[in-house]
Structure 1
Amino acid sequence: MTEIGEFHVMDEVEQHKVNLFLAEKAKLGDEISIKDVEGLGDIGTGNGAVVVKVRHKGTGIVMARKIIHLEVKHSTKIRIIRDLKVLHDCNFIHIIGFYTAFYLQGEVSLCMEYMNAGSLDVIVRKSGFIPENILGKISVASLRALMYLIETHSIIHNEVKPNNILLNSKGDIKLCDFGASCHLSDSLINSFIGTRSYMSPERLQGENSTVQSDIWALGFTLLEMAIGMYPIPPPKKDTLTQILSGKIKMYNFMDMSIFDILNYVVINEPPTVPDGLFSIEFKDFIDTTLRKDPKARGNLTKLLKKTWSQIYIEKDVDVAGWVCKTMNLEPVKAV
């Protein structure tokens, strides 16, 4: 079993991968502007932002450029760019790499590492659901990333949800968009309003974000990916059987209005892993993350010491092979 305190410490292979990214980042120089990049197509939209694929003209480095429209004073612009400097220091194997940020005509651009398989919500639309062994690796990576952020930078992610967990054809798993942390200005925070359907009961009732609310959001996300559909209201077993057999895809289906969903989260018992379709270790893990009392969810270390986490800390899983097959990508040899 991995010892306490080691979960957010990288091994030599992981540190080497991060160092390769930092060496690539150094090629860009201290600052870049819109004139230095060329567009390669849209990636997606959401929460008031647009994400596009770009290439740096001088180095050929391909990046994801997130564009956030902000109408702010010059002094606020300077403060936003200054506050974003913390992203330069977030260098961890399961955190999306950050190249730089710049401001142009009311828009802040964040230039980040490009993940060619996309986010979990994109992937599950093609796969129908995500297998438990793949979710095991996603879970461990996400927990380690959350621990790194809080332990190293005192950052609460505050935006854990399927479209903020990214994968690539190398099998890398990374969290992005921890932009609503206390390190960012109020103006930028307002552009990163959390998706309420992944919020914990206490957040929906007006309490502040904590690591425990991130834990709820992660557990909810993993459950949704496992069953291939939104877990509220609890789906019928026949429907789940058809999803898990590949006969139907239900990811975009919601049977309740957003108001009813939020009311359900606050009032009713949390969703749970259906009996008989998944391992008891997975069910135990999810049930722990989705306890209504935030103190009862356990902390990140306790979750990483759960049997399900320990299985996938130790177990080799061909994440890259599954991702490439699912998303029709060419396999890339991992560094």
Structure 2
Amino acid sequence: MLLLTRTNLGALQKKLEELELDEQQRKRLEAFLTQKQKVGELKDDDCEKICELGAGNGGVVFKVSHRPSGLIMARKLIHLEIKPAIRNQIIRELQVLHECNSPYIVGFYGAFYSDGEISICMEHMDGGSLDQSLKKAGKIPEQILGKVSIAVIKGLSYLREKHKIMHRDVKPSNILVNSRGEIKLCDFGVSGQLIDSMANSFVGTRSYMSPERLQGTHYSVQSDIWSMGLSLVEMAIGRFPIPPPDSMELEQIFGFPVEGDAGCSQSSPKPCPPGRPSSSYGPDSRPPMAIFELLDYIVNEPPPKLPGIFGAEFQDFVNKCGPCFNGTHNSPQVHSFIKQSEAEEVDFAGWLCSTIGLSQPVTPTHGTM
């Protein structure tokens, strides 16, 4: 395992100077790197389990206390029956995460193998993931999703521009938040060998895959943007949006008739996606959709849109998360919805803490990113 020495710390701090950070972001990243120096070599016996945080993507995540350093971490355990050479390759590939230091990427402490399981130790985000917030909130307000969009775009841009990494698994459960108002990406595809080894456990994730990825064509950052757009619609309306809700269901969701429903289905309800209970987030009472029906829908039908209740800029942004964002002059970063969201003062930390019942720190990060 790669240990963070004074020399490495200095090099990583120097790399922070290349990023466009405000003073608060810089101080927090430097504080994280300084804390990380205390960790040393990670071992199974040094991690005291506190509670389970969640499960998915072939693994279980626990909140743990790292005894030697006193740090609270999130430890993801992935059970894999693989040869030692493959296991060692995965651990080596995961070391790239030590170089990934951004306000929009979950911090990485290290990875190791023990008793048939790969352990990935990460920064603990006390607000959990946005799919958990969605279950509590029912729907997430447009202004909040504006701040989420900014963070996801900046996180994806950082991974692509600084490390040539595509995320490959953008969805609400891989967007983590905390009581300071930070929004960060996790579980991105840094290890090709780990992706291959876990291929059989990714069935549920396919519901967020872009058409080109499902068809096996060239994977690009546009596939991540497509998944972000799908996730935004889900969080805005409170349920997975494939197939789209009809006008009757939209009225159930919002409590009043919704006009100009942006291409949402008017026909009899199609089945809901596999693995989605009828009580998912909103009043989705459709029978389960077979996995092949869902994949066929993603490949052959138009991507979901927002109903007309949302702002025109937000609707246009989501629409362009389909095949429309390409090239620097037509990128998500310069869309008017993002510019508008950057200018708005939004207390993301306050919204999160009131939604999920967290105590808010004295100096949270407000929505100015």
Q: TM-score, structure 2 length as denominator? A: 0.81
Q: Which runs of 4+ in 1 moved over 6 A?
A: none
Alignment of 1:133-152 (within 5 A): 133-152=143-162
In the alignment, is residue 271 of structure 1 matched against residue 267 of structure 2?
no
Q: Indicate conservation of the 8 Å contact 2:51/2:63, yes or no.
A: yes
DSSP-derived class of the 1:297 partner: coil
Q: Would you say how many aligned residue pairs link Structure 1 and Structure 2?
A: 319
In the alignment, is residue 323 of structure 1 matched against residue 352 of structure 2?
yes
- Quote the RMSD (CA, aligned, Å): 2.2
- Aligned position for 2:12: none
Q: 1:320 to 1:210 in 2, by over 3 A?
A: same
Shift of 1:45: 0.9
Q: Indicate conservation of the 8 Å contact 1:51/1:64, yes or no.
A: yes
Shift of 1:187: 4.2
In the alignment, is residue 251 of structure 1 matched against residue 281 of structure 2?
yes
In the alignment, is residue 280 of structure 1 matched against residue 312 of structure 2?
yes
Alpha-carbon separation, structure 2, partners of 1:150 and 1:229: 29
Cα deviation, 1:154-204, whole Å, max 9, x if unaligned, reads: 0000010111001111111000001x24xx242444326371101111111
Q: 1:34 to 1:270 in 2, by over 3 A?
A: same
DSSP-derived class of the 2:166 partner: coil
Alpha-carbon separation, structure 1, partners of 2:178 and 2:110: 21
Alpha-carbon separation, structure 1, partners of 2:69 and 2:57: 30
**Which runs of 5 or more structure 1 residues have no equivalent in the other structure?**
1-6
- Aligned position for 2:322: 290
- Aligned position for 2:332: 303
1:191 to 195, 198, 206: 198
Give the counterpart letter for 2:125 in structure 1. M
Shift of 1:11: 2.5
In the alignment, is residue 237 of structure 1 matched against residue 247 of structure 2?
yes
1:10 to 21, 28, 35: 21
Give the counterpart letter for 1:321 in structure 2. G
Q: 1:242 to 1:124 in 2, by over 3 A?
A: same
Shifted more, 128-137 versus 252-261: the winner is 252-261
Q: Indicate conservation of the 8 Å contact 2:208/2:230, yes or no.
A: yes
Q: Indicate conservation of the 8 Å contact 1:289/1:298, yes or no.
A: no
Shifted more, 139-148 versus 111-120: the winner is 111-120
Alignment of 1:1-335 (within 5 A): 9-29=20-40, 31-178=41-188, 180-181=189-190, 184-191=191-198, 193=202, 195-245=205-255, 250-251=280-281, 253=284, 255=286, 256-275=289-308, 277-291=309-323, 296-299=324-327, 302-332=331-361, 333-334=363-364
Q: Which has the higher Rg, Structure 1 or Structure 2?
A: 2
Q: Indicate conservation of the 8 Å contact 2:127/2:176, yes or no.
A: yes
Alpha-carbon separation, structure 1, partners of 2:128 and 2:42: 24
DSSP-derived class of the 1:243 partner: helix
Q: Indicate conservation of the 8 Å contact 1:80/1:188, yes or no.
A: no
Cα deviation, 1:35-79, whole Å, max 9, x if unaligned, reads: 111000111111211111100112221111000112222222222
**Which runs of 5 or more structure 2 residues have no equivalent in the other structure?**
1-17, 257-277
Alpha-carbon separation, structure 2, partners of 1:299 and 1:38: 47
Give the counterpart letter for 1:64 in structure 2. A
Q: Indicate conservation of the 8 Å contact 2:209/2:223, yes or no.
A: yes
Shift of 1:254: 7.0
Q: 1:85 to 1:278 in 2, by over 3 A?
A: same
Q: Indicate conservation of the 8 Å contact 2:325/2:331, yes or no.
A: no
Q: TM-score, structure 1 length as denominator? A: 0.89
DSSP-derived class of the 2:331 partner: helix
- The higher relative CO (CA closer than 8 Å, separation ≥ 6) is in 1
